[in-house]
Amino acid sequence: MKKNIQLLLDEIENEYKFTRSMTGKRSLDPKVKAALFAVPRDKFVPKDYIDSAFYNGPLPIGHGQTISQPYIVAIMTDLLELESDDVVLEIGTGSGYQAAILSQLCKQVYTIEYVPALADIAKARFEKLGYDNIECKAGNGYDGWPEHAPFDAIIVTAAATQIPRPLIEQLKPGGRMVIPVGRPHMHQELVLVEKDEQNKLDIRDILGVAFVPFQGERDE
C-alpha cells in the first residue's frame, strides 16, 4: 500500500505542475501531502473498488455519488490554507474521505450529507477508524450548520448553480471557502471565496471541474 500511495502522490504533484498557472499553487503543501499519506483511501471505497483506491480518479460510492479524484481533494484542501486550530464545515460527506483529510489539518470538522444512508456509512467509518474530531449529520447543506458557525473554512463537494447565501454568512471574517459552481454536465468552475476582516468578498475562478450536483438548492 505504501508504494501505491507514493505513486499517487507523485501523480498529484505532477498534476500540480500542469495546473499551477490556474491554481497559483506551485507544489503540494507538505502538510496536505502528509494528510494524503496518512488517510487510507482504500478504507473509504466500496469493496469492489479497493484495487482502484490509489488511482487518481473519482470512484462510485453508491446512490449515484462518487468519492472525488485525489488531485481534486488535494487542491481543494490546499486552497483552504488551514491552520491547526481551525473549525471547518464540509458540505457533501459522501465517503468521508475528504473530511478525514481535513481532520488531520484542523481542530474540528463538521460535515453534512444529503443522502441519509451515506451519512450513516460515513459516521460508522469515522468511528471505526478513530477520526474523533469529525461530526457528521444527514441534512441539506444549503443551510450550513448554524449551531457551529462561524467557520474558518468551508468546502463544498457538490456543484451548486450559485454560492448558497447561508454558507457565505457562516464564513468567518478572514475565512476561505472552496465550492464548485455550475450546472450538472455543463461547465463547472471551482471557485475560491475569501472574506476579509471587513466582510468584503473576493471571489475567484480557479479551475474547470466535474462534480455531482448539489441537491436541494433553495431559491434566494
Least Å from the CB of residue 18 to ligand SAH: 23
Q: Which of 21, 52, 68, 103 is catalytic?
A: 68
Window of 31-39, 111-119, 123-131, 185-193 that interacts with ligand SAH by CB under 6 A: 111-119
Q: What is the DSSP string of 87-132?
A: EEEEE--TTSHHHHHHHTTSSEEEEEESSHHHHHHHHHHHHHHT-T
Q: Measured between alpha carbons, how far apart are the two ends of the chain, in Å?
A: 47
Active-site residue flag, 21: no
158/192 with CB nearer ligand SAH: 158
Least Å from the CB of residue 94 to ligand SAH: 2
Helix axes 30-38, 2-23, angle to 10 degrees: 150
169/196 with CB nearer ligand SAH: 169
Query: Residues binding ligand SAH: what is the number (CB under 6 A)?
Result: 24
Window of 9-17, 33-41, 89-97, 167-175 that interacts with ligand SAH by CB under 6 A: 89-97
Spell out a b/e string for 66-77, using b for 16 or more CB atoms within 10 Å of the CB, else e.
Answer: bbbbbbbbbbbb
Strands (E), the chain: 59-62, 65-67, 87-91, 108-113, 134-138, 151-156, 171-182, 188-195, 201-209
Asked whether position 163 contacts ligand SAH by CB under 6 A, the answer is no
The set of catalytic residues is 68
Residues that bind ligand SAH (CB under 6 A): 65-68, 91-92, 94-95, 97-98, 112-115, 118, 140-142, 157-158, 212, 214-216
